[in-house]
Amino acid sequence: YQTLQNRNIARFGKLSAIGFGGTALISAYMMIVGFMTFGGASKGMILNNYSTFDTGATLCRLLMGISLLGSYAFISNATKKAFYNIFYKGNEITDKIHYRTTRQLTATLTGLALLISDAGFVIS
């Protein structure tokens, strides 16, 4: 919201609805097509049902990766703000605290990503 040009709540809400709505439609479409293709034998991550040589599925995997990378900044920022509200409520957040928290969060997430191979476990 802070970086939105001509910002106001109505415009922010409209842009958020368009973004989330578009993402939901694309996700629903992919789930429906995947389920219609594989039926009850569908794996939880529908793209894992397709061959690694399938160009369309490979493109979707790439786009999903880009989506995950793009969402990292939002998730990281929200996590840091929650951390600050718990541990530094009412105190000024200095650059030192901000950078240290960012490094610790990144190291923790990277470590967990290296250890956990089943994303379904994390989501559940």
pLDDT of residue 69: 80
User: How many angstroms separate the CA atoms of 84 and 97, rounded?
Assistant: 9
Tell me the pLDDT tens digit for each residue of 21-74.
Answer: 999 999 899 888 878 888 888 777 778 888 889 999 899 889 988 887 888 788
Confidence of residue 121 (pLDDT cuts 50, 70, 90): low
Tell me the pLDDT tens digit for each residue of 10-19.
Answer: 988 999 999 9
pTM beyond cutoff 0.85: no
Query: Residue 72 corresponds to which tokens in the numbers above?
Result: 């990292």
- Please report the sign of the dihedral spanned by the C-alpha atoms of residue 18, residue 19, residue 24, residue 29: positive
**Quick one: which of 62, 66, 67 has its CA closest to 23?**
67
User: How many angstroms separate the CA atoms of 118 and 96, rounded?
Assistant: 34
Look up tokens 């842009």; give the residue: 15
Look up tokens 């802070």; give the residue: 2
